[in-house]
Amino acid sequence: MTTSISAIKTKSRDICPVCGNKGSMLYKDMQDYFLSTPGLWTINKCSNNSCSTLWLNPMPLEEEIWKAYQTYHTHSNANKKTTSDHLLSLITRLTKLLVLPISILNGLHLQRKKLRTMFLGKTGGRLLDVGCGGGRFLRRMKKNGWQVEGSDFDDQVANEVMDKYGIHVHTGDLKEINLSDNSFDAITLSHTIEHLYDPLESIKRCHQLLKKEGKLIVTTPNANSLSHQRYGKYWRGLEPPRHIQIFTPNSLSKVMEQAGFSNRVVKTLSTGAAGIYKVSALASKKKSFFMKTLRTIESIFLELVEQHRNDNDIGQDILIIATKE
């Protein structure tokens, strides 16, 4: 049975969440093209060219945003797959197998392998994954020898992760969770910071929680990406109303600096871009099996092109590895 979700209440946000400058409207009357959350949304762009952060204005009230997560991929069970879904999955695997030699040569295969552990490898230590969702990353890192725990806003998800994997997940806002300072060797935020209402204060809290020489690893959609340039308002990385702000490499680096991380590496990644290209291309088009197949094959090759052209600014995702000194 499907539950009807009422419109989300909002509030205005006229200035950039990173640099405080005013912006101008980039897109208006945007729908939630992916999960069909009620409402039309406007996205602003910062007028400071060295920042260029994107943000929702108006933005959902914090107590209302749960309405946009009822069928979100990290907080729901996957729908039963159809025969065409299985066939499309087979076509995807075969295409990726055909281009594997190219992926190995251009570094995409190695990048994908490193991203599975958020570039932490198997060194071990105490790890906190902020916005852990269904806990699959924590499970993987636990098998790699890390002492893992997560945080998430969803009580139901936290209980499911404990029941399935025996991993504790703290619930609520990271800034309000009772955790000891200087207690973690690594903290990860994988596609989480774009959802946060106060990203700077959350990163400051991460700085407090890390031990000296501890690592903070953040990935998030890149507003400067080739896929955004290609698909505009249909780009999957925008995802209103769940993505409150979208960073550029410069603006996210600025947030890290403001939070106390002077030692940081900033780059962009193309791993996963194929899925973003495909979903973005289909957002405004009829989703026939033929069109899905065509866009699937096209997206795999576009990911390879992006990796080949990557000038450390146009990849699908931003990666920051920051070290607490």
Q: Does residue 283 surpass a pLDDT of 60?
A: yes
The answer to whether residue 197 sits within a structural domain is yes
Domain of 120, in residue numbers: 75-323
The answer to whether residue 55 sits within a structural domain is no
Percent of the chain scored above 70 by pLDDT?
Answer: 94
Q: Which of 276, 268, 282, 285 minimizes the C-alpha distance to 303?
A: 276
The answer to whether residue 276 sits within a structural domain is yes
If pLDDT is split at 50, 70 and 90, which confidence band does 178 have?
very high
Q: How many domains does the chain have?
A: 1
**What CATH number corresponds to the domain at position 217?**
3.40.50.150
Q: Does residue 76 surpass a pLDDT of 60?
A: no
If pLDDT is split at 50, 70 and 90, which confidence band does 60 have?
very high
If pLDDT is split at 50, 70 and 90, which confidence band does 311 have?
low
Q: Which of 174, 189, 167 minimizes the C-alpha distance to 119?
A: 189
The answer to whether residue 28 sits within a structural domain is no
The answer to whether residue 50 sits within a structural domain is no
Neighbours of 189 (CB within 10 A): 27
As a whole number, mean pLDDT of residues 193-210 equals 97
Neighbours of 268 (CB within 10 A): 23
The answer to whether residue 16 sits within a structural domain is no
Q: Cα–Cα distance between 314 and 191 in angstroms, integer?
A: 17
pLDDT mean across residues, the chain? 90
pLDDT at residue 4, rounded to an integer: 53
Instruction: State pLDDT tens for residues 2-43.
Output: 445 678 999 999 999 999 999 999 999 999 988 889 899 999
pLDDT at residue 50, rounded to an integer: 95
Q: Are strands 41-46 and 23-30 parallel, antiparallel or unpaired?
A: antiparallel
pLDDT at residue 5, rounded to an integer: 62
As a whole number, mean pLDDT of residues 162-190 equals 96
The answer to whether residue 153 sits within a structural domain is yes
**Residue 116 three-state SS:** coil
The answer to whether residue 184 sits within a structural domain is yes
- Higher-confidence residue of 205 and 97: namely 205
pLDDT at residue 284, rounded to an integer: 66
As a whole number, mean pLDDT of residues 197-218 equals 97
Choice among 92-101, 123-132, 197-206 with the minimum mean pLDDT = 92-101
pLDDT at residue 99, rounded to an integer: 82
Q: Cα–Cα distance between 308 and 100 in angstroms, integer?
A: 14
